[in-house]
Amino acid sequence: MPSTRIREYESAFSEWLGAKYAFSFWKGRVALYALLRAMGVGEGDEVILPGYTCVMDVNPIKYLGAKPVYVDIEPATFNINVGLLEVKITPNTKAIIAQHTYGYPCDMDAIMNIAEKNSIPVIEDCCLALDSKYKGKTMGTFGEAAYFSFQWNKPYTTGLGGMVVTNDEKLAGQIESLRASEMCLPCRKEVFMLWAELVVYRLFIYPRTTALAERVFRYLTKKGAVVGSSSSSEFQPEMACDFFKAASGVQARSGLRQLKKIERNIAHREWMAQLYDELLEQKGWPCRKYDRSMIEPVMVRYPVRIAEKDKALAEAAKAGIELGSWFECPLHPIETPLAAYDYEAGMCPEAEKASNEAVNLPLHPRANEATAEKSVEFITKFTPVK
Ligand SMILES: Cc1ncc(COP(=O)(O)O)c(C=O)c1O
């Protein structure tokens, strides 16, 4: 049974988002796994998703013996190209994942039309989109269900963490009974390490220290000295023995704290994104153009396309500039054995192009006007790609 604190966090989240039910998990990928299980996805089924995502999004599909079917992206929004979606539907398709990349809402009218016509449920991947809106409606409230991540790089962080939301009573009941019968608890050591990492994060991680901190964190994760977002065993579905894990009290407490300041976080992200628009425009760089009566994105990071991605990342690390690299390949990170995830080179050419060009700039509450100025000064030394 989830603790009172966990129930409190789930209620606060569902109320804030405007969904009937919310269920918290150890990570976002575990939230997706629970959802797919509850929807009855299994051996031989197909799940459609954009070919520009994080491999951890694909693992739950593979764990269930289902097949990921990739759709290429639109270059302007990095989201699934709805014009290419319907032809991928087969009698085996059991779900469509609409991932709102970087916080840009997908074209939900088109996706919901195709899904309804073919009677296929839509799962919204809101891991990068907290409070983005499409025609005034919040992302996460369109499909049968949605899931969120609260890992380090996400709109707010509890270190690790995930949440499913749904308005569907039957689906909610299925998730609840799965939790009751199969979910394991994180061990004390893991929870303690996560708590310690959150303390270090609060005290020491700022834009100029991020690149160094990420390198140290990856090294310590490999050595097993910290609880990382991903372990190497997660690349092998058959090793996923303790994957279906509950959220801890540490995450619930941290999440409740974050929800109290969520409006400030969102306003800051919007203000920073506008600042980047203005600064880039002043330098004659292409920047975001969209119709605010249609979409109101709350971005997780600010994407920019450049010709010399590797060089920029290497120089940024030396210069103490917080330059993000995702997605490094169609199924981030670059180490992903693509063939093992049913991805063949050339399958999603726009996603592959975006992987080679897109870097991203910080919008989070610790980044400020000086960060934006420094980041724009840095990135505009490179060649923009339109
Ligand atoms: C778009 C997207 N979906 C899902 C996930 C998985 O979230 P988590 O790391 O919490 O499992 C990620 C991971 O970073 C992501 O970028």
Which tens digit of pLDDT belongs to each residue from 5-28? 999 999 999 999 999 999 999 999
Residue located nearest, by CA, to atom 16 of ligand 1: 54
Residue nearest to atom 14 of ligand 1 (CA): 54
22 and 135 belong to one structural domain: yes
Residues 13 and 143 in one domain: yes
State the average pLDDT for the chain: 92
Same domain flag for 296 and 151: no
Same domain, 176 and 269: no
Q: Are residues 172 and 268 in the same domain?
A: no
How far is ligand 1, taken at its centre, from the CA of residue 31, in Å? 10
Residue at 55 is within a domain: yes
Q: Which domain CATH number covers 68? A: 3.40.640.10
Asked if residue 60 lies in contact with residue 67, where contact means CB atoms within 8 angstroms, the answer is: no
Ligand 1 atom closest to the Cα of residue 229 is 9
Residue after which a domain boundary falls, among 182, 207, 241: 182
Beta-carbon neighbour count of residue 319 at 10 Å? Answer: 12
Residue 250 lies in a domain: no
Q: Which of 182, 212, 245 finishes a domain?
A: 182
**pLDDT at 228 (0 to 100):** 64
Tell whether 252 is covered by a domain: no
Ligand 1: distance of its center to the CA of 201 in Å? 19
The per-residue pLDDT for range 30-52, each reduced to its tens digit, is 999 999 999 999 999 999 999 99
166 plus 276 within the same structural domain:
no
Residue ranges lining ligand 1, Cβ < 6 Å: 27-29, 53-54, 56-57, 99, 125, 127-128, 149, 151, 162, 229
Q: What confidence tens digit (pLDDT) does each residue in 214-267 have?
A: 666 666 676 666 666 666 566 555 555 578 999 999 999 999 999 999 999 999
Give the model confidence (pLDDT) of 76-110 as tens digits: 999 999 999 999 999 999 999 999 999 999 999 99
Do 266 and 177 share a structural domain? no
For a ligand 1 pocket test, name from 79, 127, 150, 360 the mutation site with the most ligand atoms within 8 angstroms of its C-beta.
127
Per-residue pLDDT at 205 exceeds 90: no
How does pLDDT run across 130-152, given as a tens digit for each residue?
999 999 999 999 999 999 999 98
Residue 19 to residue 178: CA distance in whole angstroms: 20
Q: Do 17 and 166 belong together in one domain?
A: yes
pLDDT of res. 217: 66
Beta bridge partners of 69: 48
Confidence at residue 277, expressed as pLDDT on a 0 to 100 scale: 96
Contact yes or no for 366/157 (Cβ under 8 A): no
Read off the CATH number of the domain in which 369 is found. 3.90.1150.10
pLDDT of residue 1: 79
Q: How far apart are CA 136 and CA 222, in angstroms?
A: 43
| Angle between helical axes of 369-379 and 309-319 (0-180°, round to 10) | 140
- Taking the centre of ligand 1 as the mean of its atom positions, its distance from the CA of residue 52, in whole angstroms, is 12
- Percent of the residues in the chain that have a pLDDT greater than 90, as a whole number: 81
Residue 244 lies in a domain: no
pLDDT at 239: 52
**Nearest ligand 1 atom to alpha carbon 125:** 3
- Burial of residue 91, with CB atoms counted within 10 A of its CB: 0-12 exposed, 13-18 middle, 19 or more buried: exposed
State the Cα–Cα distance between residues 366 and 54, nearest whole angstrom.
24
Output the pLDDT for position 197: 86
pTM: 0.93
Within a domain: 53: yes
Task: Work out the pLDDT band at 203, boundaries 50, 70, 90.
Answer: confident
The protein residue whose alpha carbon is closest to atom 15 in ligand 1 is 54
Residue in 59, 100, 149, 156 to alter for ligand 1 test, most ligand atoms within 8 A of Cβ: 149
Domain count, the chain: 2
More confident residue, 214 or 320: 320
What separation in Å is there between the alpha carbon of 339 and the centre of ligand 1? Answer: 20
Residue 366 lies in a domain: yes
Distance 230 CA to ligand 1 centre (A): 10
Cis peptide before 333 (omega within 30 of 0): yes
Rounded CA-CA distance 26/147 in Å is 12
Closest residue (by CA) to atom 13 of ligand 1?
54
Residues 29 and 154 in one domain: yes
pLDDT above 70 for 58: yes
Query: 284 and 146: one domain?
Result: no
State percent of the chain over pLDDT 70.
Answer: 90
Q: Are residues 13 and 104 both part of a single domain? A: yes
Residue 130's domain comprises 4-182
Q: Which residue among 32, 47, 54, 156 has the greatest number of ligand 1 atoms within 8 angstroms of its CB, and so is best to mutate?
A: 54
Classify residue 219: in a domain, yes or no.
Answer: no
- CA of 381 from ligand 1 middle (Å) equals 31
The pLDDT, as a whole number, for residue 196 is 86
Run of H or E residues at 357? helix 349-357
Q: What is the pLDDT of residue 123?
A: 98
Tens of pLDDT, residues 269-292: 999 999 999 999 999 998 888 888
- For ligand 1, the distance from its centroid to the CA atom of residue 29, given in whole angstroms, is 6
Domain termination site, one of 160, 182, 204: 182
Q: Is residue 26 part of a domain?
A: yes
What's the pLDDT at 230? 66
* H runs (alpha helix) in 205-341: 207-222, 249-260, 262-282, 309-319
- Best mutation site among 57, 79, 245 for ligand 1, i.e. most ligand atoms within 8 A of its Cβ? 57
Give the per-residue pLDDT at 139.
Answer: 98
- Residue 115: band (very low, low, confident or very high) from pLDDT cuts 50, 70, 90: very high
